[in-house]
Amino acid sequence: MNINVLGALNVLKFAKRCENVNIIAHVSTAYVCGEGEGVIPEKSFSLGETLNKDTKLDIDVERKVIEDKLKEIEAQNLTTKEVTMAMRDLGIQRATMHGWPNTYSFTKAMGEMLLGHYKENIQLAIIRPTIITSTYKEPFPGWIEGVKFQEIRW
């Protein structure tokens, strides 16, 4: 939540304060559109939209759920590993409730929603790679070869 959702929003807020920024390129993931067989449409999300058409997403509610769960498990004096597992389970539960397969694609989708909703006069290019990998050492640290992505422009 802090990195993929609020981090994206913080970048936008910063860009709005910059005098000469007209466009933001946001790296997301192709999996924000869900998983399945056949053609999966690449489209932008409206704030509150979900892959599960039976639910409505309220990002403030999701933040509150996380905050409440953290308070609950902190009171239990759990180990760091137990806290991590409990929060991972909560994330997966919330993601699947709204139709996403995992917390990563769920939070990336929320980040896209906030950017699209609050962008105002800034152009937004969302890049959705299917996979990003890099090397540890050879030919040099961070080398990425053959990146494949789809781009959505608003």
SS3 of 64-85: the string is HHHHHHHHHHHCCCCCHHHHHH
The three-state secondary structure class of 18 is: coil
Q: Is 136 a catalytic residue?
A: no
CB 142 within 8 A of CB 133: no
Q: Are 26 and 127 in contact (CB under 8 A)?
A: yes
Among residues 104, 119, 136, 137, which one is catalytic?
Answer: 104
86: buried, middle or exposed (CB in 10 Å: 19+, 13-18, 0-12)?
middle
Say if CB 23 and CB 115 are below 8 A apart.
Answer: no
Cα 24 from Cα 120, distance rounded (Å)? 12
Is 104 tagged catalytic? Answer: yes
Catalytic residue among 108, 118, 136, 148: 108
Active site residues: 104, 108
